[in-house]
Each structure stands twice: as C-alpha cells, then as structure tokens.
Chains A and B, each alone.
Chain A
C-alpha cells in the first residue's frame, strides 16, 4: 500500500466529518474517492494533505506515518480552483513549484515542457485573469503535477473542463499512472470512475460504506441480467431457470433480456439458451458504478 488512512476521526464544532474512516491506496493505481456532497471526502483529502489534523487515527505514507516534509511529494488539485488572478502565469507557476521544493530553474525547465505540450506557451507572460476558464484549468493542472509527486490528489478534476479537454486530462491522468504515480481521484462523475479507477472507496455520512477493486465491486453487485440475441428456433419463455424481462425483434434476430436464477452458472445458461437459438450475443449486464452508487447510498440513507 502506498497510502493508508487508519481509523480517522474528525469532528468540527457541530458535526462529525469523518467517523472511523480507513482507506488503502495501492501504489501506482488510480484510487477513486466517491461519495455524495458533504460526505467528508474533502476533509479526508485535507487530512492526507496535512492541511487539517485528524482528531484520531493516522495516515501512513509510503510505509511510515506521514511527516510534514512529505507534502512536497504530494500534488493537490483542490475542488475550488484558484490562483493569483493578477500574477503572471509563468511566474506564479514557478512560485508554487518553489513552495513544493523545486528550484526556480528546474521549475522553469519543466514548465516550458508542459506549456508546450498543452499549447499555452504564448500565455506565459499573461496575467491569469486574461486567460479563458479552460486555460486556467490547464495551468492549474500543470501546477499540480509539475513537481512530479509520487502521490497526486485530484478533487473533481473534470469539473469545468469541456469534453475535449476532459479527454486530454483523462489521457494525462492515465499516462501519469503508467509512469508509476499513485492517484487519488475524488468525483461524483461515475462514468469516469469506470474508465479510470482501479480501486474505489465510497464514503457516505462520514463513513466508508464500500471499498475495493472496481471490477470486483461490479461483479459483486451483479444483478443476474443478461442480454442475449440470436436467431431463434423456439421463442424463449420464462421458466424456472430464467425470467424473460424484455424481448424485441430486429429483422430475423430476437433480442432478449433475461434474469437468471441465482443457482444457475453462466455456462449452464448458455447451454440452455443455445438449445433454442443460434446465439450471436451473450452479455452479462454488470451494474454501472452509477447504479451501485445510487443503490449503496440509497440503502444507507
């Protein structure tokens, strides 16, 4: 584990933000921190960043309790974006990189590379307020990753990005992961979770209600719904082994949605239906993270 939060408690004046929260973030993976607004995600992120101190519990960073110096090895993109509006883009990027421990010359060198990559080199000497929103977002992302931290914490990174730039950002995130960076990624955009995250923790009402590998979670929440299509010799009808939920026909091909009985295995189901049709499509419909999210959060309400 690259980062572990152990039994974190944190309460503010009149509410509990985190109640016995533990998460394990494996090295070199993208870890999704999910949960509805106000669940305590940002508080947990701030605790990992050492911006706030937990009332109880500890954070283990790279095998040892986190130390103040470790913040230089973390890159943080807060949900509320913000930079100095009146300061020149290049200048403030160098300043913030220096605060993360880079030398000014090294920061300048790396910045040039990033600015060229994102095509914003001409804006180096412009004040931030002169940039478009999308460009400001890019600058902010560059600042977050410039010191090449082993741990990146991105709080709602896609908010405010148009689809083209969101795609660009997604590629960058996956590229960083492939280079060995560990990424904690907080969001309520479930589509991006399936595409990007390897592991997730779902926080609701200050508690972790679901945690684990995305594929494992999805198969854990499988609902036994299958999509089947083929040319039928005999129409499928509800029986002891499965229930026909839906049926429609396109040309000579029949499309079915079946709900399988729990006892039956996939192999048995295929065998059963292939007796009645020439199967062209067999697809187990795994629940989307969106559905799981709604289900789990709904249950815990």
Chain B
C-alpha cells in the first residue's frame, strides 16, 4: 500500500473513532432538529388552564364582543376593585375601557400583577380595532363602503419568469435561489473553517509531540501533509453525509408524528424564513414547488459546489497546515489566522450583499478572486452566471490552490523541524526558498 494511503487511513480512522467525534456526529442532527422544531412544537402546545380576565367597560359598548376562548374567561365588572389584586381573586388581568374608543383611542388600559400576556393583548387589540374601524366606517354613511375597501385591498405578488436560452420561459424564484445559494455557501464556509482548523491542529499535535522526526524519516513531508489534508476531508465528507441522512430522517419522522400542515405553518409564525414564505406564496399562486426547484440549475449547482468545495478546502487547508507547521503553540496561531479569518468573513459579507445584486461589481470581483470565490460564487450560481466567469474563477482558484499547496509544502517541510521561538514572516519566506 502506498505510504500516502496509509497516512490517509490513519488520519481518517483515528478521527472517526474518537468518542467526541461519534458523539458530536450523532447528537448534532438532533440539536439542529431540536432548534428547528422545538419552537414550532412549543407554539402548538396550548396552556390548558383558563384564566379569568376582568373586563371593566365604562361605555358598555365593547364588553359583548369579548367571547370566552380556551385560554381566557372574561368577566365583566363595573369598577376596577382592589380585590382584583389579591391573589385568591385569581384574576389574570384587568381590561379597562374608560371612554368611547372612537373618540379617544387611548382610553384602553390593561392591568396585571405580572406581565400582560402577549396573546391576550393581541386579542384585545384585534377585537377593539376591528370594532372601532367598523364604527368609523359606519359613521361615514356610505352605502357598501365595506365592500369597496375590501376590493381595494389587493395583494400584489410578482411571479418572476426567467427567459431560457432556447427562448422558452421558466418560472424562477429569487427567494429559493437565495436560500439554495446560501445553503451551499455556508456549507463551504463551515467546512473550510472547521476542517481546515482540524488540519492545523493535527499538524501542531505532531510537531509538539515530536513524532514528526520519526515520520519524516519514513515519508516525505509533502506526503504527510497531503495525507493529512485528504484524510481530514474524508472525515468531513462522512460527517456531512451522516448529518444529511440523519437530519432528513429526523425531520421526516417529526413531520410524520406531529402531522405536518398545522405545525409546519403555525398561524403564529412570525417573520420566518423568507424563502419558505415565498414557497408558500408561490404554491398558493398555483406554482408547484417542484416546478420552482426544477427551474434551478441543479446539475450545474452540484458540480460547481463540488469543484469550489474541493478547491477552497485545498487552498485553505494547506495554508492552515503551513501555519500549524510554523508555530509551536496554539497561542501563536492568531497572527497568521487573523488575516485568513478576515478574508473569509469578508467573503461571507460579499456573498450576503452579492445576493442582493448577483451581477454587481462586488459580487463579480469577489467571485473571481480565488480567496473568496468558493464562498461568493455559490450565491451567484442559482441566479445564472456566464460560463466564462465560472471557468475563469475556477481556473484562478485551482491555480492558486496548487500554488499554495506547493508553497505550504515548502514551509511545512522546514517548519515541522523548527522548534523554539515563533518564526517571523521574513524567516518563513526564507524557508520557501530553501532547496
């Protein structure tokens, strides 16, 4: 067996056999699913005790509008009495309407010994505004005013259509494109950061354990470096694959158990995922989701994802390996890591703004520049990117990845046997030139 394969095997096996790895790999999907599903589940659980709410309506006009529901039982009272405050009175809140709200909209007050529950406040406000609105409309004395206003309230939702090269039309959706682009971008970003960091840790471990000298008396430092980079990438692939499968399974199971429709789009859903809302809107508008997803360049996306993923990881991981080889202690890493993190965070921001304007100059240059292109280009691709730009960006990315691998290999070779003080950048540049 070739030596680099033996190294890849060790790097891979020792990592996936670690208890921490197994634990994290298995728990993470549950945590993600928990974070995603728990609020929905919690929202769907109702407090089953019915609270008493005292309703003091001086105008007597509004009190009949309040009807008891599962959570609240409304009791009218002529006056706000001190007994309401006592604990055994068991009054959750007091609603005081002191004047006609049409004349004075501020004549509504709510009291409670705790915070006034948000849903009670919303309920009260909804009931009263509806009534006040109706009253005001009625005061204009216009026949059929209600209907006129209803017909004037039109919700405009654009259905976006993209012309395909063969002259046809496909219905596209920028919300989905955005979501898919970001998903890929974040995956590349997270992968490069965490597994690149793992490469650096591994190199430093070998250096500080002083096992390096034994290994490089058997294999070339370059083989060791590449073996490590590839082995860790495989660990990452396995982890992501497990997460993907488990997350799908868990979410399907949850959806099945809870009965999707009510839970997935609870009426109280606030804000929420833009893409999700557009999907819902589009679906309501008669565009099946599958058609929208089908309009995305799925094959192109996946191919590009793999290419940028490998290129970006190779570039950054080999750089991290060189950093790990140059330093003697974790604390020394910050000097070299800062610029890298800054560039990557810049890339992420460029991706965020680039999504707003995928063909703008920032998105364009950042998706060509090799240090940011793996992050930024993935956001642009769902919107359609000219082939020449993709090729140029990939060519630059791979050219610089190869260059950095070469350069890191040379730094690595010298650095791994250098102990003592932290080298300066100047010294490291000298290492590159060593024969």
Contact A71-B218, Cβ < 8 Å, known A87-B14, A95-B6, A95-B10: yes
Query: B291 at interface (Cβ–Cβ under 8 A)?
Result: no
Q: Which single member of B213, B430, B435 contacts A53 (CB below 8 Å)?
A: B435
Residue of A nearest to B18 (CB): A86
| A131 CA / B232 CA spacing, docked (Å) | 28
Is B217's CB under 8 angstroms from A80's CB? Answer: no
| Residues from 188 to 239 in A contacting B, C-beta threshold 8 Å | none
Q: How far apart sit A284 and B399, CA to CA, in the bound complex (Å)?
A: 73
Whole-angstrom distance from the CB of A294 to the nearest CB of chain B? 28
Residue ID in chain A nearest B418 by CB atoms: A12
Contacts of B303 in A (CB 8 A): none
- What CA separation (Å) do A143 and B217 show in the bound complex? 13
Instruction: For A51, give its contact among B6, B210, B217 (CB under 8 Å).
Output: B217
One of B3, B6, B212, B220 near A82 (C-beta < 8 A): B212
For A72, what are the chain B residues with a Cβ–Cβ distance below 8 Å? 218
- Taken residue by residue from 54 to 77, chain A's Cβ proximity to chain B (1 for < 8 Å, 0 otherwise) reads as 000000000000001001101010
Please tell me if B425 contacts chain A, counting CB pairs below 8 Å. Answer: no
Instruction: Known A-B contacts: A53-B435, A84-B206. Give 5 more (CB < 8 A).
Output: A46-B417, A76-B217, A78-B210, A78-B217, A84-B14
Instruction: Name A69-102 residues within 8 Å CB distance of B.
Output: 71-72, 74, 76, 78, 80-87, 95-96, 98-100
Q: A78 touching B218 by the CB < 8 A rule?
A: no
Q: How far is the CB of A95 from chain B (nearest CB, A)?
A: 5
B211 at the interface (CB under 8 A from A): yes
Q: Which of A76, A86, A98 contacts B214 (CB 8 A)?
A: A76
Binding site for B on A (CB under 8 A): 13, 46, 49-53, 68, 71-72, 74, 76, 78, 80-87, 95-96, 98-100, 143
Number of A-B pairs, beta carbon distance below 8 Å: 61
Q: Do the beta carbons of B1 and A78 come within 8 Å of each other?
A: no
Does B209 lie at the interface of the complex (its beta carbon under 8 Å from any beta carbon of A)?
A: yes
The answer to whether B215 has its CB under 8 Å from any CB of chain A is yes
A85 to B435, CA, bound (A): 32
Residues of chain B from 314 to 370 with CB closer than 8 A to chain A in the complex: none
**Are A80 and B213 also in contact (CB < 8 A) when A71-B218, A99-B218, A100-B218 are?**
yes
- Write 17 A-B pairs (CB below 8 A) sorted by A numbering: A49-B217, A68-B220, A72-B218, A74-B217, A78-B210, A82-B213, A83-B211, A83-B214, A84-B205, A84-B211, A95-B6, A95-B10, A96-B215, A96-B218, A98-B3, A98-B6, A99-B219
Asked if B218 and A80 sit within 8 Å, CB to CB, the answer is: no
A49: chain B residues within 8 A (beta carbon): 217
A13/B430 contact (C-beta < 8 A), A78-B213, A84-B211 known: yes
Contact with A along B395-421 (1 / 0, CB 8 A): 000000000000000000000010100
User: Bound complex: CA of A96 vs CA of B217, how far in Å?
Assistant: 10
Residue of B10, B212, B427 with highest tally of chain A CB at under 10 A: B10
Given contacts A13-B427, A95-B6, A98-B6, contact A82 B217 (CB under 8 A): no
